[in-house]
Amino acid sequence: MTSQLLLFFAAFGFCLLAILLFYPLSQKIGLVDIPKGRKQHTGAIPLIGGLSVFSGLAFSIVLFAPEDLNLMFYLLLTGSIVVLGAFDDYLDLSVKLRLAVQLVVSLGMVFALDLHLASLGNLFGFGEVKLGFLGIPITLIAVIAAINAFNMTDGIDGLAGMLSLVSFVAIAGFMLLWGQPEQALLPMLLICALLPYLAFNLHLVPGKKIFMGDAGSMLIGFSVIWLLITGTQSETASFRPITALWLIAIPLMDMVAIMLRRILKGQSPFQADREHLHHISLRLGLNPRESLTLITALACIFACIGIIGEYLMIPDIVMLLLFVIVFTAYILLLQNIWRILSNLRRRLRGRQA
């Protein structure tokens, strides 16, 4: 217990130290986010959140964690993702190059550690759905999707960090309580390393605001999918694959909904716009902190549905159908939000008259 506490304090402390060291350096080399176009913040903000979180993880694991080949491979692969994200923050890399590197990292996870989706559980009520040879390509798609889903949520202060925190807390709880206590170390370290970042990002530390950057959002997206596969695919799996969907419901639904909308408009699914859930909440009149609170609360509700379903062992097919219903309602609501609001305003004006 003492050694684990040392690990957690080390992850927190090293991340905090990295922020303090990287802050002046980022301003000197130009690793900052300058407001323009869709970006409406004030001043040049250092893009060091991801680098700092990874530093906290890496130093705490290398210096204090028991030797674990899986953790070393995790650091190697996430380090590659962080480097990619840092270069993207600095140089604005092409989508094709980012996807190519993400694919290589995903292949490393699959073939170096044999960590991939082999089963979807009893998803349709007719027995276990084994993926066989389809497991590897589906895993590659899932990893790239998770990386980009969390990347797309990084649009207002604290959102990507808080959504990932919800996922990491739920995953850590499952692993601690239901069969994988050794695997719970990683999500708990991620939680500890995220806390200093969130304090600076949410301006709880006056005068030193920072952003996560693509390095950070890609890091947490890769970490979440790594943990979801670890938690669902081993012999001592602590939760079912269907539950994993509920733990990342907001990033997943927002990514799919926005990509479908772009494709239907004849646009690239990776084209940036202001149609994400956090953009819509701002346009509805909420301020950034209210939007953060609302979306995080929704993520907590969805995660709790998954936790309750797992605890009560509600059949997979019931949880899947419920997820499909929620997902469909989410897409329809976002597609018709302005029409719904217009009708509501018209009715309110009619009653007042």
pLDDT tens readout for residues 56-82:
999 999 998 888 889 999 999 999 999
CA nearest to 148, candidates 279, 328, 278, 270: 270
CA nearest to 299, candidates 163, 150, 151: 163
- For the chain, the average pLDDT equals 88
CA dist 231 → 18, 207, 225, 236 (Å): 30, 39, 10, 8
- More confident site: 37 or 220: 220
pLDDT tier, 263 (very low <50, low <70, confident <90, very high otherwise): confident
For the whole model, what pTM was predicted? 0.91
On whether the CB atoms of residues 326 and 249 are closer than 8 A, the answer is: yes
Q: Where are the domains of the chain?
A: 2-32+42-352
Other Cβ atoms closer than 10 A to 295: 23
Q: Tell which phi-psi region holds residue 276, choosing left (phi > 0), alpha (psi between -120 and 50) or beta.
A: beta
pLDDT tens figures, 90-110 = 888 888 999 999 999 999 999
CA dist 164 → 13, 212, 334, 348 (Å): 20, 12, 22, 38
Give the three-state DSSP class for 32: strand
Report the C-alpha gap between 269 and 151 in whole angstroms. 14
